[in-house]
Amino acid sequence: MEKTMDKAIITVVGKDTVGIIARVCTYLADNGVNVLDISQTIVSGYFNMMMIVDMASAKKHFADISGEMDTLGEEIGVSIKCQREEIFEKMHRI
């Protein structure tokens, strides 16, 4: 039987520096979170990335991952926010 996806949206914003994508993706992989889609751009030296991830096989609870991503963001000088897909969709409905 196929496992149901548990999607979340991760946004990363801040001054561009070397290794942002590597650090974020390494953390996700180490914690069993699969990246389904990723979009990133740099505008005038500012890094912006949005990821859609599947947390169905995550090794930790969503709240723990979200908190650790906040801490990781502080370490690398960016803002990292995690939201469950259904919350993200409700917040961005027109």
CATH number reported for the structural domain that contains residue 64 in this entry: 3.30.70.260
Alpha-helical regions (H) of 6-61: 20-30
Tens-digit pLDDT profile for residues 28-69: 999 999 999 999 999 999 999 999 999 999 999 999 999 999
Asked if residue 59 belongs to a domain, the reply is yes
Beta strand pairing status for 78-84 and 46-54? unpaired
Q: Is the CB of residue 23 less than 8 Å from the CB of residue 7?
A: no
Look at the chain and report how many structural domains it folds into: 1
Asked if residue 2 belongs to a domain, the reply is no
Domain that holds residue 39: 7-91
Extract the tokens encoding 71: 């801490």
| Higher local confidence (pLDDT), 1 or 47 | 47
Calculate the average pLDDT of the chain.
Answer: 91
Asked if residue 50 belongs to a domain, the reply is yes
Output the pTM of the full model: 0.85
